[in-house]
């Protein structure tokens, strides 16, 4: 009796996770190869090998799919599906370094930002993503999720990432020292 619930759960849960992950993998591949403009539900469903109704079950709107793609991109950058469980900025600095200053990841983010900036329906999704990223970093500085100083730090990192794309030989910044100089540590 105790094993019937887990058996039923194991038949449905991995299947749902697998379908969602297939969709995200396909969407991420499309965006990386063709840009955000190529991200359509029919194209993603075909690439993922799922019916469009399956895709809309997990991602009812294009903004939901875009948010999923951005999160999948972060997970890919991190190398696993969970962020560090520590609240120490020094422990997360290498993750942040890779996320912000890897040229491929930076180009991906800026290309999404550029294409979404022309779409008033998707701009709030990018804004929510940016706020979510600030909220994610805030506890590492023992700050509130909407702390303006953390937001300015994130904005500075994005600007530095853009500059690094234009000047590839520019040295990688020391994020711990940068956070200290910014008054966050």
Mean of all residue pLDDT scores within the chain: 82
pLDDT exceeds cutoff 90 at 33: no
Q: Where are the domains of the chain?
A: 1-60, 66-185
Distance CA 124, CA 47 (A): 26
Percent of the chain surpassing pLDDT 90? 41
CA distance 41 to 59: 9
- Bigger pLDDT: 149 vs 81: 149
> Tokens at residue 38, please?
């190529």
Query: Any idea which of 1-5, 79-83, 140-144, 151-155 has the lowest mean pLDDT?
Result: 1-5
Q: Which pLDDT belongs to residue 2?
A: 37
Burial status of residue 43 (CB atoms within 10 A of its CB: 0-12, 13-18, 19 or more): middle
Average pLDDT value for residue range 74-78: 63
Tokens standing for 152?
């300015």
Mean pLDDT for the stretch of residues 154-163: 94
CATH code of the region 1-60: 1.10.10.60
User: pTM of whole model > 0.75?
Assistant: no
């Amino acid at each position: 009796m105790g094993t019937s619930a887990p058996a039923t759960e194991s038949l449905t849960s991995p299947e749902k996770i697998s379908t969602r992950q297939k969709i995200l993998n396909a969407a991420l591949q499309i965006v990386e190869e063709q840009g955000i403009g190529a991200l359509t539900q029919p194209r993603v469903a075909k690439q993922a090998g799922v019916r469009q109704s399956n895709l809309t079950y997990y991602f009812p709107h294009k903004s939901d799919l875009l948010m999923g793609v951005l999160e999948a991109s972060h997970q890919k950058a991190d190398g696993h599906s969970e962020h560090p469980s520590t609240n120490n900025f020094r422990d997360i600095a290498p993750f942040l370094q890779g996320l912000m200053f890897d040229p491929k990841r930076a180009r991906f983010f800026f290309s999404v930002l550029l294409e979404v900036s022309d779409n008033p329906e998707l701009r709030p999704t990018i804004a929510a993503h940016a706020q979510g990223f600030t909220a994610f970093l805030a506890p590492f500085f023992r700050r509130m999720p909407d702390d303006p100083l953390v937001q300015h730090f994130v904005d500075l990192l994005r600007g530095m990432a853009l500059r690094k794309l234009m000047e590839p030989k520019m040295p990688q910044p020391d994020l711990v020292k940068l956070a200290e100089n910014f008054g966050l540590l």
